[in-house]
A and B are shown apart, each in its own frame.
Chain A
Amino acid sequence: MKRDRSRHRFFPGMVVLAACLAAGVASSAPSEEKGKVAKPHAAAPAEKQFAVPTPPFTPGIFPCSDCHKEMTPNPKRRELKEEHTNIVLNHAEGQRWCLDCHDTYDRDRLHLVNGQRIRFEESYRLCGQCHGDKYRDWKVGVHGKRTGMWNGEKQYLLCVNCHNPHDPRFKPLKPLPPPVRPGDIR
């Protein structure tokens, strides 16, 4: 996947470090002590960071500002007729449109409901606004794929690594071959 750029390169490393330091802080393990420790952090805006890969952008599409910086934002809800026509929203269509998630003025970022702008690498926070239960499971490695060391550093996948945000249903796969029947093992 071709992708920009130096300003994003430093990110994974930093996140790994942060994830290590903050390991378990954001886990929603129901133990009492944990709850107490977690409280001061909950008040602070700093969310736990997760070691995630780079978002799976269509090659050449990012940064969005490359095209958008010359354009005047049009916040009017409408169907796009000239650009991005390949994107057919199959995700709460009718209730959402592009700028509910993509930031109107900084096209290289997304925004949360409260207006906070976030990088694409933090898109899980955006998804988590509606899918709180999945977000909670994801953070502890139960929803979605988490790899790495079972007793050490872990790598997460972003929601969008498996779910196309515009059409999130997981796509069927071709199964690998069935086992050889016992009568055919010779």
Chain B
Amino acid sequence: MPTQERRDDRAFRMSRRKMMRGVAAVLGAIALPAQDAPASVWESFFQKNFRELSPEDLKGVLSRLEKEYSEKYKKAVKVRATPPIEGVSYGYGLDLSRCIGCRRCVYACVEENNQSRDPQIHWIRVLQLNKERGVDLEDAEHYYNPAKVPEKGHFYMPVQCQQCEHPPCVKVCPVQATWKERDGITVVDYNWCIGCRYCMAACPYGARHFNWKKPGLPSAEMNPETHYLGNRPRPVGVVEKCTFCVQRVRNTPGRYTACVEICPVGARKFGNLLDPESEMRYIIENKRVFILKEDLNTRPKFYYFYAT
């Protein structure tokens, strides 16, 4: 009897849902901060994966987040979900012959992308390497702090998300909370990530960072121009990463990334790999270029090069 079966099936699913909600309520009561407004807590709890949201759903989500952040940071916060621009695949270039290791990029990124100040999260890690040893990561110094850089006998290699063509982090995520967008940017849905940190184990570049604690982001320093998949404030217990400043670069015209803008030596380059006129194409076609850990076949779109 198909109708009977269907009814059974529905009853089963409903009871499952009920049970789920019950369990969710218990866990939610434990896990979620009590001071938050209950309605929005439930809305965010049952929110679907970003890629499954209908346009109306998305609108609702964005306005809910805008309201939430605006109240929390006491300023008008914009949360956009600008889609990729057609015919664009972003590439990044970093001139190792120029970088002096001054870490201006690290902190410009923190400010632009609303990283937690305390506990500290940096999306960019600048490595000090020995000219004699070359790119030998085992020999990298992460915590150099001389009076002046560059130091004699050293060169500097900033590392951030390499926006791989074959991102191992995406493959391993058990819930598809992270994925590569059409323009090549790998993003995270902070409302879907379960915080298992498998992606962090899978990333060969140390590019993923976890919110071990509720992020500390002072209202005054909060950048209110945000993107859902990029620099909007993150909750505790989820993973985040560099998005090539998705909130900037997806606009037409779109600003260069914060790290490109700040770099005092102009070592950082950014452009559309599909545009033959872009600086990235010029670099790839005319300079000595290498990608980090090429043997892993991750095919980064982050090119280190030597301009001289």
A and B touch in the complex (CB under 8 A): yes
Chain B residues near A172: list those with CB within 8 A: 100, 148-150
Q: Judge whether A151 and B252 touch: CB under 8 Å.
A: yes
Are A24 and B103 in contact, with the CB atoms below 8 A?
no
Q: Which of A29, A137, A170, A173 contacts B307 (CB 8 A)?
A: A137
| B265 neighbours in A (Cβ, 8 Å) | 145, 162, 170
Q: Does B142 count as interface, using CB distance less than 8 angstroms?
A: yes
Over the window 108-134 of chain B, the binary record of Cβ atoms lying under 8 Å from chain A Cβ atoms (1 yes, 0 no) is: 000000000001101001000000000
> Nearest-CB distance from B135 to chain A (Å)?
20
Q: Report if A179-B120 is in contact (Cβ < 8 Å); known contacts: A29-B281, A149-B254, A185-B212.
A: yes
| B residues less than 8 Å from A27 (CB atoms) | 277, 282
Minimum Cβ distance to chain A for residue B119 (Å):
5
Given contacts A151-B253, A176-B103, A179-B125, contact A144 B266 (CB under 8 A): yes
The distance from the CB of A173 to the nearest CB of chain B, in whole angstroms, is 5
Q: Are A176 and B102 in contact (CB under 8 A)?
A: yes
Which residues of the partner chain A approach B55 to less than 8 Å between Cβ atoms?
A: none
Q: Distance in Å from the Cβ of B39 to the closest Cβ of chain A?
A: 34
Question: What's the dominant secondary structure at chain A's contact region?
Answer: loop
Residues on the A chain within 8 Å of B85, using CB: 151
Within the assembled complex, what's the spacing in Å between the Cα atoms of A39 and B296? 44
**Residues of the B chain whose Cβ atoms lie less than 8 Å from the Cβ of A186:** 119
Query: Does B181 lie at the interface of the complex (its beta carbon under 8 Å from any beta carbon of A)?
Result: no
Chain B facing A: main interface SS: loop
* Contact of A173 (CB < 8 Å), options: B95, B106, B149: B149
Q: Is the CB of B253 within 8 A of A142?
A: no
The residues of A that contact B276 with a CB separation of less than 8 Å are 29, 31
- Residues B255 and A175 in contact, CB atoms below 8 Å apart: no
Cβ–Cβ < 8 Å partners of A147 in chain B: 256, 260-261
Q: Does A30 reach chain B (CB closer than 8 Å)? A: yes
Chain A residue contacts of B253, Cβ below 8 A: 149-153
Say which residue of A137, A140, A150 sits within 8 Å of B255 (CB atoms).
A150
Say yes or no: A162-B266 contact (C-beta < 8 A), given A24-B277, A140-B279, A173-B102.
Answer: yes
Which of A137, A150, A176, A177 has its CB near the most chain B CB atoms (within 10 A)?
A150
Q: Which of B101, B143, B261 is in CB contact (< 8 Å) with A179? A: B143
A88 CA / B32 CA spacing, docked (Å): 66
In the complex, chain B residues whose CB is within 8 Å of the CB of A145 = 263-266
> Chain A CB within 10 Å — which of B148, B254, B266, B269 has the most?
B266
For residue B145, CB closer than 8 A to chain A, the reply is yes
Contact assessment for A146 and B102 in the assembled complex, using a CB-CB cutoff below 8 Å: no
Q: How far is the CA of A143 from the CA of B279 in the complex (A)?
A: 10
Convert B61-104 into 0s and 1s, putting 1 for each residue whose CB lies closer than 8 angstroms to a CB of A: 00000000000000000000000010010000101000011111
Q: A151-B253, A152-B253 are in contact. Are A175 and B120 (CB under 8 A)?
A: no
Question: Known contacts A148-B256, A174-B147, A185-B120; is A179 also within 8 Å of B142 by CB?
Answer: yes
Q: In the bound complex, what is the Cα–Cα distance between A29 and B275 (angstroms)?
A: 11
Contact residues of A between 110 and 160, Cβ < 8 Å to B: 133, 137, 140-153, 157
Determine the distance from Cα of A186 to Cα of B249 in the docked complex, in whole angstroms: 34
Closest 4 CB pairs of A and B: A152-B253, A145-B266, A149-B253, A172-B148
Q: List 17 A-B contacts (CB under 8 A).
A: A24-B277, A29-B276, A29-B277, A30-B285, A140-B279, A142-B93, A145-B266, A149-B254, A151-B272, A162-B265, A174-B102, A175-B145, A175-B148, A176-B107, A179-B106, A179-B143, A185-B120
Residues on A facing B (Cβ under 8 Å): 24, 27-31, 133, 137, 140-153, 157, 162, 170, 172-181, 185-186
Given contacts A142-B307, A153-B253, A181-B143, 18 further A-B contacts (CB under 8 A): A29-B281, A31-B276, A141-B279, A143-B307, A150-B255, A151-B253, A152-B254, A162-B265, A172-B100, A173-B264, A174-B147, A175-B103, A175-B145, A176-B107, A177-B145, A179-B106, A180-B120, A185-B119
